Amino acid sequence: MIPNNLLKYFKGFSKEFPSYFRVKNPNFFLMMRYYLRKPTFRYLLQLFFKNPFRIIFNTLFYLPKVFWINFLNKFNKRDFYADSKIKNVIIDFSKGKGFITISYCQKPFDCPDGRFSYKCSASYERCKRCFLYQVKTKCDKLNLDYYIVLGDLDSVWNILSNQFDKYLSASYILTTCNMVLNVVKYISPLFGFTGIILPFNKGSCLTIYAYELSEFGYKNVQTDISDDNKKLLIDILDKAIAIKENYKKNSRSINLGEKLPLLDGKAHIYHTNQRRHRVL
């Protein structure tokens, strides 16, 4: 949880909004101007000094690729952003490596766990009618980290910091508005995380002013992603689950001494917690 003294500091920051907070659909430079004055930026700096060589390496390795991907995306009609191949995301997820973040504003207003809340237990009967129920239950099958994001400070304090300590690199999928997408796509690779960002097609904040208010739970619209992106997210999770279950099945067969057929005409190596097996 975020300490109360940080929350007070964060709220104090929001008392007076600069004029550029009311510009509709702010560009990358206005968003950076906004983020640089926020307390969140201090915690990004703390992460940098935690392991500066790792972040410098990631910057040199990933940033040119990100600029190239952004250039190619100008000619791409996809309604999502990706700086990693989908198959790489699926493979990482099948190993439980990575995370999914969902913005709290996607939760229904009558969410039994509370709307402006980290909780998404998916344990109530009415939860089964919610799209997030499908995502949460599939993440549980994969032992994949699943987060409900309450705001920027939360993203750094509770998510990025934890994942940075946990993995050198990993895949992610997150849902957010285009304003945040335009910043996250440059920042996340520097910490070793690449993946897919699914933008809202409904209920997005159009100004920094509205976004800043949403940081404290003042969001009177339920956001959502497109049906195509919902299908993409579920398909990725389903394929990751299938790979994980197939791996378990093959591991059991090997342990039982059963002969397995050649896969793609080649010998394959399977790894279990106990030993390494070569399948001929």
At 207-263, the pLDDT tens digits run 988 888 888 888 889 999 999 999 999 999 999 999 999 887 776 665 555 444 444
- Say if CB 194 and CB 98 are below 8 A apart: no
Would the pLDDT of 38 be above 70?
Answer: yes
Region 3-9 average pLDDT: 63
Would the pLDDT of 274 be above 80?
Answer: no
Region 157-177 average pLDDT: 89
How far is 57 from 81, CA to CA, in rounded Å? 23
Number of Cβ within 10 Å of residue 102's Cβ equals 25
More confident residue, 255 or 31: 31
More confident residue, 180 or 280: 180
Number of Cβ within 10 Å of residue 151's Cβ equals 22
Three-state secondary-structure class, residue 196: strand
CA-to-CA separations, 69 to 35, 75, 170, 199, 229, in angstroms, rounded: 23, 10, 18, 17, 19
Q: If residue 65 lies in a helix (H) or strand (E), which one and from where to where?
A: helix 52-73
- Average pLDDT along the chain: 83
Q: What is the pLDDT of residue 247?
A: 84
Structure confidence at residue 158 as a pLDDT band (50, 70, 90): confident
Look at the pTM and tell me if it is higher than 0.85.
no
More confident residue, 128 or 255: 128
HSE at residue 56, side-chain half, CA atoms within 13 A, is 5
Per cent of the chain over pLDDT 70 is 84
Q: What is the pLDDT of residue 252?
A: 66
Q: What is the pLDDT of residue 109?
A: 93
Q: What is the pLDDT of residue 76?
A: 76
Displacement of CA 62 from its chain's centroid (Å):
17
- For the stretch 70-118, pLDDT in tens is 787 777 778 899 988 999 999 999 999 999 999 999 999 999 999 999 8
How far is 272 from 224, CA to CA, in rounded Å? 40
- Say if CB 181 and CB 200 are below 8 A apart: no
